[in-house]
Amino acid sequence: MLTDMSTSRPAASARSAAHTRRTHDDAPDTASRFVRLNSLEPGPERDALRDEIVTAWLPMAHRIAGRFRDRGEAVEDLRQVAALGLVKAVDRFDPERGAFESYAVPTITGEIKRHFRDRMWALRVPRRVQELRNKVRLARRDLTQSPGSPEPSVADLAAHTGLTEDEVAAGVEALESFSTLSLDAELPAGDDGYSLADTLGGPDASFDTVVDRESAKEGLRHLPERERAILYMRFFEDMTQSRIADRLGISQMHVSRLISRSCERVRAEAMGRQVDDQA
């Protein structure tokens, strides 16, 4: 009987030690400080204790931030975001609901993920597309872990993730759209290369000409035949006012007045205004 009791005590002690063992070395025992924190009224003493708890758990926050390295964000920036999540976790934690680490880890992780979702995209992308991107990224990593593994196809990614091929295609496109490309970025083309801006078109003045002609067309139809003829000779045949006057047998001054009056009438009709006729 004594032997059984003596052998059972080490086993119980081992189970107890396993139960109380912390998951990580950066998980300090702050249970009593949290209880005291919740009992204090707002003030310098509470602020000092809060800072003490945050400092104690900061290594854990930095460890979580390290999981997100190599994703386009500086580690120091990720640590700042993780520290912000830690502060939120400390402020919201209720000691009666369990261990702080169980509450803090998802809170900090969620803060970092929100940072990537809301701040890292050059363009605002719907949350659903961001989630598809993450699933595709993880699936691509899983399927290419073995050396020499071929690049997975859309069908392979769909089978691995349980997504449709259209959803995988959207995720793949989002993978390539996380950041924008500068218009000055040089693209490979021959020996010299060219920038992305070189592939973009510029303003075409001909479009303005088309708009102007269509706007003036109706006004030109309403002009007397002689005035239409004068405008045609002046602007399409590039004749001088003196030559037009000689052809029509009128003075150059009269040609000038007719051109001015005709242009004003056409312009006014295009703009929706009325112009009084002048002899």
Query: Going residue by residue through the chain (279 aa), what tens digit of pLDDT does each one get?
Result: 334 444 444 444 444 444 444 455 667 888 899 989 988 898 999 999 999 999 999 999 999 999 888 776 788 989 999 999 999 999 999 888 888 999 999 999 999 988 877 666 656 667 788 788 888 888 888 888 877 778 888 898 899 889 998 998 888 887 766 666 666 766 665 456 667 677 777 777 777 778 878 888 888 888 899 999 999 999 889 999 999 999 999 999 999 999 999 999 888 888 876 555 444
Instruction: State both tokens at 194.
Output: 């060219």
CB half-sphere exposure, 148, CA atoms < 13 A: 0
Q: The whole model's pTM is what?
A: 0.44
Q: Rounded to an integer, what distance in angstroms lies between the CA atom of residue 252 and that of residue 225?
A: 18
Q: Rounded to an integer, what distance in angstroms lies between the CA atom of residue 85 and that of residue 88?
A: 5
Closest CA to 31 of 116, 108, 93: 93
